[in-house]
A = this chain, B = another copy of it.
Amino acid sequence: MKMNDYVKLIDDKLNEFIQIEEPQTLFKSMKYTVTLQGKRLRPVMCLETCKILGGEIEDAIPAACAIEMLHAQTLIHDDLPCMDNDDFRRGKLTNHKVFGEAIAVLAGDALLTFAPQIISKYSETLSLSTKIRVLNEFFNYAGARGVIAGQVVDIESENNMNIDNKEKTLEYLHLHKTSDLFQLAMRTGAIIAGADDDKIDAVTEFAKNFGISFQIADDILDEISTFEQMGKTLGKDKIENKLTYVSLYGLDEAKCKLFCKLQDCRAIMEKQNLYSDIFNEIIEQIYKRVGI
């Protein structure tokens, strides 16, 4: 499958999984952010990992969509006024700007249980033990030891320039805030494909490096890009004194680090026999976005 085919498949399934039920405001709010046009990187990487490791794409669709719903949940809550206070996302108003803060909080909450419910309800081809394993991965990376840990440290690092070990803190927060969802996506694809532990470790390592490079690119683009290109307000990292790869290392060094991380991804692909045109394309896109 080509990238566009994956994206179309995922978009169709997301639309199918979230129907507008009562109370309509809630379901509309959930669907609004989940179906904002996006690159669908996490579900694409989940399905492609499943495929290259010998699994059936069909088996991983509910889990891939659940991970995209989780991603949307993190965006809805991160954009709230008490968090990053963002008005735009992917060129559209953020959830709370359209539905109000209370509904945005509740829509995020709803997605946090709706997502694993999709895994449980629609993964009919998975054995019970695989289903439980996939759910455990979800709970682990979605929760207090995963993506939320990253967001907490991100908030705590704002305006707090007295952090002891900035390098370590930055790596920790990017690892959790960004890499965790990519790890979840690829590990889930691998588990559903029935991959052995070595292969699961290999895709985890790929996802870690990819996630960090993705976040470094985000830090760079916050500095050099425009609202029109990105569909969200930029330059906020600097104003809010955020700890980022650019604020800590400067633009050039950040670009070097990004380059190295993406080279690591390529090395893992080659060494671990994980080659995929799709992964290659995704890596190329990052190079292109930041102009390396």
Contacts and interface: CB of A to CB of B under 8 A. Distances in A.
Interface of A: 21-23, 25-27, 30, 73, 77, 80, 82-83, 100-103, 105-106, 108-110, 112-114, 116-117, 120-121, 128-129, 131-132, 135-136, 138-140, 142-145, 148-149, 151-153, 155-156
Given A83-B105, A105-B105, A106-B155, 11 more contacts: A21-B144, A23-B153, A26-B152, A77-B105, A77-B106, A106-B151, A108-B109, A110-B144, A113-B116, A113-B143, A117-B139
Contacts of A149: 22-23, 26
Contacts of A142: 113
B117 A136 contact: yes
A241 to B, nearest CB: 16
Grouping DSSP codes into helix (H, G, I), strand (E, B) and loop, the A interface class, with mixed when no group exceeds half, is helix
Contacts of A113: 112, 116, 138-139, 142-144
Contacts of A103: 152, 155
A210 B103 CA distance: 28
A156 B23 CA distance: 10
A14 to B, nearest CB: 15
A92 to B, nearest CB: 21
21 contacts: A21-B145, A22-B149, A25-B156, A26-B144, A26-B149, A77-B106, A83-B102, A103-B155, A106-B155, A108-B109, A109-B109, A110-B143, A110-B148, A113-B143, A113-B144, A117-B140, A120-B132, A120-B139, A128-B132, A131-B132, A132-B132
Contacts of A136: 117, 120-121
A66 B114 CA distance: 17
Contact of A152 (B23, B131, B148): B23
Contacts of A26: 144, 148-149, 152
Nearest to A70: B113
Contact of A135 (B120, B144, B152): B120
Nearest to A176: B23
A145 B139 CA distance: 20
A172 to B, nearest CB: 9
